[in-house]
Structure formats: C-alpha cells, structure tokens
Amino acid sequence: MIKKITALFCLVFILFQVSISAQVTTASISGTVRDDNAVLPGAIIQALHVPSGTQYGTAALENGRFHLPNLRVGGPYKITITFLGHEPTEINDVYLSLGQEMEVNALMKVSGVNIQEVVVSGRQDPVFNTDHTGAVTNVSNQEIQMIPSINRSLSDMVRITPQSTGNNTFAGRNNLYNNLTINGSLFNNAFGLASLPGGQTNAQPISLDAIDQVQVSMAPYDVRQSDFPVQELMLSPGAVQTNIQVLFTRTGGISSI
C-alpha cells in the first residue's frame, strides 16, 4: 500500500513539473560588462533578433550586471554593447533555447574619444511665464459697459468665457462649485441653493456699476484659490460712494421707471 502511494505521489510530482515547464515560452540573457580595470555601470546592451527585427535593450547596474528577460527563442541574435570612452562590442550568432538563461559577459576596450563642449542656453518664453497661471478670461470695465445684459447679471459678463456653458456654469461643472470673490473676499452662496447669492429671489449680488473688472480662472495655480472656476470681481475705486442710477423703458409714447 505504501509503495502504491509513493508511486502515485511521484507521478503527480512529475506531471506537475511538466505542466510548469510547458508554460515557459521565452528565454533570457544575463551577464557582466567590464573593461580591464572595473565593471561598467550604465553600459547600454541591445539585443537584436535578426529574423524578425525585434529589439531588446537594457542598461548595466552598478555592479556591471545586466538582464534581458522574455526574449524570443531561436535566433540568431546580434548583441551590441556600448559605453562612453570604449569601443563598441558586438556578439553575433547567439541562439536561445526554450527556457534558457544564457550568460554573456563582455570585456570592452578603452578608446580615446574627443568630447566636444556642451553649451546649455536658455531664454524666457513670452507665452509661458510667471504672469500666466492657467486659462483665464478677463473682462474689463469697458467690456462690461458694452456687453448687452437684460438682467444686468454677472452671469452675462462671464458668458464670454470660452469654457462657459451658460447659467454661470463652466466646462460642464455644476455652478454650485464656483468660487466667487470680491476684492479678494469670499462671496459664495453659503446655502448652496444657487450659483450666486440672492439667486433664489432673482436679485443680483452686486450692481454692475460697482464692478471695475471681472476675471474667470479655469485652472488657477495660485495656492490661495482652492477650487475652480474662480470668479474674481474688482470694485471700481468710486464704488463706495453713493450713486443713484435710474433706468426706464419707453414703449410707444409712455415712459416707465
């Protein structure tokens, strides 16, 4: 009985080994790159499968060792090793068997190389500089006066932003995520019922006559602006003064305030 169990165990073990070896479909190449004095870390190793033109590459580690895994079986392979200040080394007619881990060591020869000086120059890009910190749309006071607005709403002013999708929304994002500031102070809707304070009563949070400039930042890089889009309003210097403006409409011969 014990002999039968032992034989069965050996058969299962052999079948298990065969199934594992049957899953291997590639080969690999490892080795060391050095010259007469020391190993050459950073040497470039390239293996070319000549029939298919498939190329594999790697670089030597600090100890000079390199490893090229998952190579196609067969060949021939052409192995080229290069390193600064050394003559290139070529190894031809390398054939790989299924599951083989071939060891290829290279001894490179030192050669005299004239290295030209490297000049690094830079210039300031007029487009990308510290003044440009993301996609920004600026609306000047003159544009505010010229943009037609029936409701005299801030939403009409920011509608010229290319990313605007209407109703004070930008880039398809919900308008409740907008960040509104006036002279740097937060002026968001604390209740989250509308995109602007007073939106539920159809009232405007601030008169357009008091606004000097409007800026919409779609991707602010400033750490003080934690969300996007950011709508910044700058009040006119005389906005703190008391001004009365009367608006009226005229229909036929009757005028109404």
Q: Does residue 76 form part of some domain?
A: yes
Q: What is the mean pLDDT of residues 40-67?
A: 94
155 and 204 share one domain: yes
CATH number, domain with residue 224:
2.170.130.10
Q: What is the mean pLDDT of residues 175-194?
A: 71
The average confidence (pLDDT) of the chain is: 76
87 and 152 share one domain: no
Kindly tell me the number of DSSP H helices and DSSP E strands found in the chain: 3, 17
- pLDDT band (50, 70, 90) for residue 149: confident
| Domain boundary residue, one of 88, 107, 126 | 107
Q: What is the separation of C-alpha 136 from the centre of its chain, rounded to a whole number of angstroms?
A: 20
Q: What is the mean pLDDT of residues 127-135?
A: 63
72 and 143 share one domain: no
Q: Does residue 208 form part of some domain?
A: yes
Note the pLDDT of residue 91: 93
Q: Does residue 129 form part of some domain?
A: no
DSSP 3-55: HHHHHHHHHHHHHHHHHHHHT---EEEEEEEE-SSSB-TT-EEEEEETTTTEE
Instruction: Give the pLDDT confidence of 109-123 residue by residue, as tens digits.
Output: 988 767 777 888 887
Radius of gyration of the chain (CA): 37
Residue-number span of the structural domain to which 60 is assigned? 25-107
Q: Does residue 222 form part of some domain?
A: yes
Q: What is the mean pLDDT of residues 19-34?
A: 77
* Residue type at 199 in one-letter notation: G
158 and 232 share one domain: yes
Pairing of strands 27-34, 65-71: antiparallel
88 and 162 share one domain: no
Q: Does residue 61 form part of some domain?
A: yes
Instruction: Give the pLDDT confidence of 200-221 residue by residue, as tens digits.
Output: 666 677 777 778 888 887 776 6
150 and 232 share one domain: yes
Q: Among 67-71, 135-139, 168-172, whose mean pLDDT is lowest?
A: 168-172
Note the pLDDT of residue 21: 45
* Residue type at 143 in one-letter notation: E
- pLDDT band (50, 70, 90) for residue 155: confident
234 and 143 share one domain: yes
Q: What is the mean pLDDT of residues 34-50?
A: 93
CATH number, domain with residue 50:
2.60.40.1120
SS3 label, residue 182: strand
Please count the structural domains in the chain: 2
Q: Among 90-94, 193-197, 224-228, whose mean pLDDT is lowest?
A: 224-228
Q: Does residue 212 form part of some domain?
A: yes
40 and 77 share one domain: yes
